[in-house]
Chain A
Amino acid sequence: MRLTQGQFSFLPDLTDAEIKKQIQYALSQGWALSVEFTDDPHPRNTYWDMWGQPMFDIKDPAGVMLEVTACRKAHPTKYIKVLAFDSRKGFETVRMSFIVNRPAEEPGFDLVRAEGPGRQINYTMRSYASAKPAGQRY
């Protein structure tokens, strides 16, 4: 399967030049970029590992790209995403999120159905990859 979280997962993977344009857009809006990675892409895994802190003071897309590249080098087989954070009143939240690296093999999720009374089913999503301990996935 192809994990389709993020803004652009239905498009062909973004090239570095395309990633840089998106970063440029985020900076032009006054948002802070950050990079996060994970080997547990469960849809409700909110807290991916942070690749350093959000880059509140980097205003040059090339500087952000350096961090993207460094993260990819350290974690070539993991999911990596770029986030843009807006600290303005009324938002104070993520405004952009797109995947910039993904494993070659994406095994996806097992849907576990636990039958309950009255035809009710309790659903659990389990990533096939995270069945293995951290560090041995992907």
Chain B
Amino acid sequence: MNKPVATKITDVKERYKSGVLKYKQMGYWEPDYEPKPSDVLAVFRITPQDGVDPEEAAAAVAGESSTATWTVVWTDRLTDSEYYRAKAYKIERVPGSSDQWFAYIAYDLDLFEEGSIANLTASIIGNVFGFKPLKALRLEDMRVPAHYLKTFQGPATGIVVERERLNNFGRPLLGATTKPKLGLSGRNYGRVVHEALKGGLDFTKDDENINSQPFMHWRDRFLYCMEGVNKAIAETGEVKGHYLNVTGATMEDMYERAEFAKALGSVIVMIDLVIGYTAIQSMAKWCRKNDMILHLHRAGHSTYSRQKNHGVSFRVIAKWMRMAGVDHVHAGTVVGKLEGDPNVIRGIYDTCRENHVAKNLRHGIFFDQPWASLKKVMPVASGGIHAGQMHQLLTYLGDDVVLQFGGGTIGHPQGIQAGATANRVALETMVKARNEGRDIWGEGPQILANAAKWCMPLRAALDTWKDVTFEYAPTDSVDYVLTPTAS
């Protein structure tokens, strides 16, 4: 390990002499600092360049994500600069790693504008990720104090009110994304929506890249989708919806599309993460005002959330999205085709759904996080899942989740309606069995096989996809494992 370098300079004249100082000398490393309950806390995974002292690297992260610049400036003396400096207060070596450390940093509440994810992130992930003395940097987790949370609206609707509006209780919701994602005309697209909803799904969904292309302009899509939705409601007596993606080039476009969705009686609209934090917050406020559920597709997140050494972990994005005010967020499936270590996914689901998330390093949760009654976000499990995994999905993900079977509905050999029915029967069967006290983890396949005796669509689904699994090692896993302790 590198030798620690100089510590904080307390002599004022020395401290403010023109020139360049170490960040530790400037006061960004405070090992004795006790974080205040109102501080925003962040833990970063840092990989210092060779020869860079990790304490100095942590101090640099604190500096560059708060008040510092590369050289001493006399204008610091015009403020209470001690107060505004972020403070790196602890580093810990990443278990099993020789060159990575977890750096804990505290930020005073006054560094941030109330109710603004854009402002929060401009500091925390603003300049600092390109900082040369670090090879790589990852924001692993944050503790957002209740003081700050209370300045955010939070989810427009929340899980409880969403369920009450949909009159849908006691089981996961079911959805499907219309496929093919691109190329269908409005009329053909609405056909898929109607078939899937009539067959038993609660929701259908636009995909992230369906906006307003030459093959299907947005008004046409909205009109045909709502015909499909309403026809299915009349045929089943259930409240249903289609996530109408209102993502557009400008806020004006998005408001126009959302207003039209409202005029057509849609219960839900959708946006993509790529529209940006400010646009997301604007849509969340619009949805709260207009009794609309807000679905967020996390398009783009894997560019920065997946690699363990650099970027922002998705649990932090999920946290920001709960503050920003979305009602649904794609949060992983564990068993499907997309990235998802079970422990990491658990940490993300807890972040979406719990009133208080306790520190749990095995789930990647580094801090106690009280949610101060911010509403709960419904996680969405989507990507390569099918009816044959229902016992695993229910065990891993619980009741408050939307299970989205896109290919697993539309690719059914007997058609879309049959695909939807297979999923709905598998789900209801599994919930009923669990409530009856059966061991669905162990008996799941048999429980499904029994239901398939009277439900032909389920039998066909199980036959088609019985052996489909996606078993690859996750790239984003947790660093802390349970080790037995001597009793």
Stretch at the interface among B137-145, B233-241, B291-299, B308-316: B233-241
**From B160, B230, B432, B451, contact of A123 by CB (8 A):** B230
Report yes or no: A41 in contact with B237, Cβ–Cβ below 8 A. yes
Report yes or no: B237 in contact with A7, Cβ–Cβ below 8 A. no
Report yes or no: B227 in contact with A11, Cβ–Cβ below 8 A. no
Report yes or no: B234 in contact with A7, Cβ–Cβ below 8 A. no
- In the bound assembly, the distance between CA atoms of A11 and B200 in angstroms comes to 12
**Chain A residues, CB < 8 A from B425:** 10-11
Report yes or no: B421 in contact with A10, Cβ–Cβ below 8 A. yes
Report yes or no: A4 in contact with B200, Cβ–Cβ below 8 A. yes
Please report which residues of chain B, range 243-270, place their CB below 8 angstroms from some CB of chain A when the two chains form the complex.
Answer: 263-265
- In the bound assembly, the distance between CA atoms of A33 and B432 in angstroms comes to 17
Report yes or no: A120 in contact with B234, Cβ–Cβ below 8 A. no
Report yes or no: A4 in contact with B236, Cβ–Cβ below 8 A. yes
Report yes or no: A109 in contact with B263, Cβ–Cβ below 8 A. no
Chain A 110-123: CB-based contact to B (< 8 A → 1; otherwise 0): 11000000011111
Chain B 410-444: CB-based contact to A (< 8 A → 1; otherwise 0): 00000000000100110011011001110000000
Report yes or no: A121 in contact with B227, Cβ–Cβ below 8 A. yes
Report yes or no: B235 in contact with A94, Cβ–Cβ below 8 A. no
- In the bound assembly, the distance between CA atoms of A89 and B421 in angstroms comes to 34
Chain A 5-20: CB-based contact to B (< 8 A → 1; otherwise 0): 1011111100000100
**Chain B residues, CB < 8 A from A71:** none
The verdict on B304 contacting chain A, using a C-beta distance below 8 Å, is: no
**Chain B residues, CB < 8 A from A44:** 167, 239
**From B170, B231, B235, contact of A97 by CB (8 A):** B170
Number of interface residues of B (CB under 8 A): 37
Report yes or no: A43 in contact with B239, Cβ–Cβ below 8 A. yes
**Chain B residues, CB < 8 A from A46:** 167
The verdict on B223 contacting chain A, using a C-beta distance below 8 Å, is: yes
Report yes or no: A110 in contact with B234, Cβ–Cβ below 8 A. yes
- In the bound assembly, the distance between CA atoms of A110 and B230 in angstroms comes to 11
Given A91-B160, A93-B160, A120-B264: A22 in contact with B435 (beta carbons within 8 A): yes
Chain B 47-80: CB-based contact to A (< 8 A → 1; otherwise 0): 0000000000000000000000000000000000
Report yes or no: B223 in contact with A96, Cβ–Cβ below 8 A. no
Report yes or no: A10 in contact with B226, Cβ–Cβ below 8 A. no
Report yes or no: A108 in contact with B167, Cβ–Cβ below 8 A. no
Report yes or no: A5 in contact with B421, Cβ–Cβ below 8 A. no
**From A11, A84, A98, A120, contact of B263 by CB (8 A):** A120
Number of interface residues of A (CB under 8 A): 41
**Chain A residues, CB < 8 A from B428:** 7-11
Closest Cβ neighbor of B375 among chain A residues: A90
- In the bound assembly, the distance between CA atoms of A18 and B437 in angstroms comes to 12
The verdict on A56 contacting chain B, using a C-beta distance below 8 Å, is: no
- In the bound assembly, the distance between CA atoms of A122 and B223 in angstroms comes to 11
Closest Cβ neighbor of B237 among chain A residues: A3
**From A21, A97, A108, A123, contact of B226 by CB (8 A):** A123
Closest Cβ neighbor of A25 among chain B residues: B435
**Chain B residues, CB < 8 A from A97:** 167, 169-170
Report yes or no: A122 in contact with B265, Cβ–Cβ below 8 A. yes
Closest Cβ neighbor of A92 among chain B residues: B160
Report yes or no: A109 in contact with B164, Cβ–Cβ below 8 A. no
Q: How far is the CB of B34 from chain A (nearest CB, A)?
A: 30
Q: How far is the CB of A97 from chain B (nearest CB, A)?
A: 4
The verdict on B171 contacting chain A, using a C-beta distance below 8 Å, is: yes
The verdict on A125 contacting chain B, using a C-beta distance below 8 Å, is: yes
Closest Cβ neighbor of A14 among chain B residues: B432
The verdict on A95 contacting chain B, using a C-beta distance below 8 Å, is: yes
Report yes or no: B237 in contact with A43, Cβ–Cβ below 8 A. yes
**From B163, B223, B421, B432, contact of A120 by CB (8 A):** B223
What are the nearest 10 A-B pairs in CB distance?
A111-B234, A96-B170, A25-B435, A123-B230, A3-B237, A109-B234, A97-B169, A7-B170, A90-B355, A21-B436
- Could you jot down 8 A-B contacts, CB within 8 Å? A8-B432, A10-B425, A11-B428, A90-B355, A93-B169, A110-B234, A111-B230, A121-B226
Q: Add 20 more A-B contacts to A1-B237, A11-B429, A97-B167 (CB < 8 A).
A: A4-B236, A5-B167, A8-B428, A9-B428, A18-B432, A25-B435, A25-B436, A25-B437, A43-B167, A84-B170, A90-B160, A91-B160, A94-B169, A94-B170, A96-B169, A111-B234, A119-B223, A121-B223, A121-B226, A123-B265
Residues of B within 8 A of A (CB): 160, 163-164, 167, 169-171, 200, 223, 226-227, 230-231, 233-239, 263-265, 355, 376, 421, 424-425, 428-429, 431-432, 435-437, 451, 454
